[in-house]
Structure 1
Amino acid sequence: MTVAGPDSGAEEPSWGTLQDRLRMSVVSITSSHSLPFDVGGRAATFATGFIVDTEQGLVLSNRHVVGAGPTFHKATFFDNQEVHLQPLYYDPEHDFGFLRYDPAEVTGTQPRAIRLAPEKARSGLEIRVIGNDSNEKLSVQRGELSQLDRNPPGYRSAGEDTYNDLNTFYY
């Protein structure tokens, strides 16, 4: 879902309208990691996922959410419908991963894919970050893009729980 930016000439939708459109694009993920094969240990966690392809049932999240060992994941849509998630891929260097749900299992809900529009990002742009902090539905944080060429987070260079996000920029 691409949203018109302030310089696009299009009338900006209200925050309430955007939130209504996005609520079926964001899922709450509950994960249970029983045995570690890479980093981390046993854990039960809550996270956020973003639907990026409704036909294939693809959900984008963080690397640690997908996990490297035996895991169980379920996604909860805004209307409380739950589906099982299968880990597909987690990037060995960067902090992202993909999970998959079976679109045929989704009934009564119409998930919407989020289309990213990185070309619209610019320094000083006011943003809202939607997620599921502490397993809350659609928690919202305000912010501003301060710069687009910021270095990645400074992860430890060796040992457990490390990522290698060298030569990557985030926004």
Structure 2
Amino acid sequence: MEFFREGIRNLQTVGTLTRSSKQLCKGMIKHIDFEQAKVIVELGAGDGVITKHILRNMRPDAKLIAFEVNPKFCALMRAIQDDRLIVVEDSAEHIGKYLAEAGAEEIDFVVSAIPFVALPKELGRLIVGKAHQYLKKKGLYIQVHYSLVMRPLYNAIFGNVDTNFVPINVPPAFVLVSQKR
């Protein structure tokens, strides 16, 4: 219910009125090689529904840096008791600063639920560009959307986009996966 209320109050930053379904969470993280991943960054982590799926599969020595701008959601995420989780209450455009603070130079995987459709175009391009900049070669950028209108953004930055449809979610969703080459 709290997610629904926050979605109504802050639809531009939350991007939806419902939490991601278990099927969507699994559809997002199935692209992550958890045995190899040392640094995972989550953009637009919300109340932590995808975060918890990531943490359940991560190595004990891996780090998850989760960006969220909503203070209520950040408080919920901070309640997750896991030393591997670093909650960042700031915009994802500052990704480099927080990577350095965590002692990391590059990212293995980026998982994003930022509602880029609702953000200024320049900010969306900046955030995805920064994620690309810090992503290691062959690293994956994984993004959820409810339409394919933003697909050209990822294709322009990464030069490739694989599209996966997840029908069992409200609303049905697309998981877009791009690899840094």
The bucket for the TM-score relative to the shorter chain is: under 0.3
User: TM-score when scaled to structure 2?
Assistant: 0.25
Which has the larger strand fraction?
1
Instruction: Looking at secondary structure, tell me which structure has more helix per residue.
Output: 2
Q: Which has the larger radius of gyration?
A: 1
